[in-house]
Structure 1
Amino acid sequence: MVELAAAARYGRTFVRIGRFEPTSQVCSACGVKDGPKPLHVREWTCGACGTVLDRDINAPVNIAKAAGLAVSACGAQVRPGLVPAPRGEAGTHPKPQASTAR
């Protein structure tokens, strides 16, 4: 798989989440699956804990949790650190040479 090779090259982990994982239907606060909703419903309230969830934010939070990537922002590094460029990509490009072809 190309994704695995690219992730390994850059020191990252590639995690595949199932296509039919109900990430927008599960409460990211308590984990209860609330069930399918029509696509026009963009915000919903969890029946178990009362948390108001935005569907477009809830799904990626659940994906991160499923992948084991979720971290608390309290004192944790939220952005990944800098990744050095591979040696062949680092530095400046050489100055173009004048063409001697006639």
Structure 2
Amino acid sequence: MLRRALGPAVLLIVMAVFGTYAVLGPNGARAYGDIKRQLTKRDVELAALKQKRAEWQNRVNLLDPKKADPDMVDELVRKKLNVAHPDDVILPMQP
């Protein structure tokens, strides 16, 4: 009689282990809220990075050799070469 009960008992233990893992494991039902919070946080970071990328893309487009923006070129030349006329007024801009 003990041998006949051994198979279902092992099966029941295995099912209990997998069931517990499905609920309490790192990808289980209880971890869903934490995963949702992480996703929201990453979406905010992604939006900030996309905005920063758009700003950099705009600067790159302004420096295109075929149609460079004269003000942007002048700003970069003065910044890199540290060149200014004595009568120039330099106003630092916050990025």
- Bin of the TM-score, shorter chain as denominator length: under 0.3
Larger radius of gyration: 2
Structure with the higher strand share, 1 or 2: 1
TM-score normalised by structure 2 residue count: 0.24
| TM-score (ref. length: structure 1) | 0.23
